[in-house]
Structure 1
Amino acid sequence: MRPLQAADAFQLVVLTNDPLVAAGVSFLRQPFTLADAQALIAMPQEQKGCFASVRAGRDGPMIGCAGALSRNAIDIEIGFWLGVPYHGKRYGAEMAGAMLERLREVFPERRIVAECPRENSASWRLLRKLGFAPSDDPATRRGARLLAFEAAEVVD
């Protein structure tokens, strides 16, 4: 993983506009435009969050994206998505787990949350496996449920 860069914008648009990917990522607009990609890439400068590209190999194509959004003074939201050809190959678990570990290290005082559409069963299972549990707090996106990280360690 490496922070998103301006050169990643086009690949990010292609990856994110796949209908099977878009259906599971509740915090991104659809269609996801080049301007949306540029705004996501610029998030660190506005201190709203940070996303990284996930690549197949050191210089390979972008296969996914993972990062975090600052929701408020307490909560930081993890987000991730993966290109359809890479679903079911443990890339999602690896990138989400790495991002979770990094967030816990950098923001030990913050609560890490995720919003997941109920119908996105693969991401729901992955979040539960990583130690997230449904929260009583409301989600901000329609059709999503808020989960909060609770585990002291990742569950296998």
Structure 2
Amino acid sequence: MGAPKITDCCAKLFPEGFARTQRLILTPLQAADAFQLVVLTNDPLVAAGVSLLRQPFTLTDAQELISFSRAQRGCFASIRLGERGPFIGCSGALAREGDDIEMGFWLGVPYHGKHYGAEAAQAMLTLLRAAFPERRIVAECPRENAASWRLLMRLGFCPSGVSGARRGAELLTYKAPEAVA
């Protein structure tokens, strides 16, 4: 059995080619984003909180992440401050076994503590719920990443008590507000 797939993930998440929040623009990663993705991600403080990322994070790693959409493995998007603003982070969706789809996000260290992560994660969650209402949305997060853990809990994710697929991470599942009694 091959890797899990999501057909046309980027097209379904970003039918207009991008998503806009109050301060941010999310756009599917392109080949031209690879160098900026490496610079942003090749930071031990970033990688420590994101179990998906290798360290050092190389240009080859960036190109692989960008190719996820072509391989129908998911879709990752750049997070930018406004239309012409800097590349500050990444958010995305990853196909998992069964009907699960994993949401993830990370920001460059200079952008921590400004609520950009909450804004981007909420936007990605909204996009995922609209594009894939039949799928269960999950996230993997190490408990040591306290800021992301708290954010995921505020968004409606609940610890499953199950270890994640990646070292040190726990699986959290999204519970839609209407599903929580």
Taking only the aligned residue pairs, the percentage that are identical comes to 72
Q: Distance in 2 between matches of 1:12 and 1:63?
A: 9
TM-score by length of 2: 0.82
Task: Please state whether the residue corresponding to 1:136 is helix, strand or coil.
Answer: strand
1:5 pairs, out of 19, 23, 30, with 30
TM-score by length of 1: 0.95
Within 5 A, what are the aligned runs for 1:6-155? Answer: 6-152=31-177
Task: Please state whether the residue corresponding to 1:25 is helix, strand or coil.
Answer: coil
Task: Please state whether the residue corresponding to 1:28 is helix, strand or coil.
Answer: coil
Task: Please state whether the residue corresponding to 2:177 is helix, strand or coil.
Answer: coil
How far apart are residue 138 of structure 1 and its match?
A: 3.2
Task: Please state whether the residue corresponding to 1:45 is helix, strand or coil.
Answer: coil
Task: Please state whether the residue corresponding to 2:70 is helix, strand or coil.
Answer: helix
Contact 2:65 2:76 in 1 (8 A): yes
In structure 1, runs of 5+ residues without a counterpart are none
Runs of 4+ in 1 over 2 A off after TM superposition: none
How far apart are residue 28 of structure 1 and its match?
A: 1.4
How far apart are residue 46 of structure 1 and its match?
A: 0.5
Cα root mean square deviation, aligned: 1.0
In structure 2, runs of 5+ residues without a counterpart are 1-25
Task: Please state whether the residue corresponding to 1:89 is helix, strand or coil.
Answer: coil
Q: Distance in 2 between matches of 1:30 and 1:110?
A: 31
Task: Please state whether the residue corresponding to 2:69 is helix, strand or coil.
Answer: helix
Task: Please state whether the residue corresponding to 1:30 is helix, strand or coil.
Answer: coil
The alignment covers a number of residue pairs equal to 153
Cα deviation per residue 1:127-154 (whole Å; 9 max; x = unaligned)? 000000001333111111100001326x
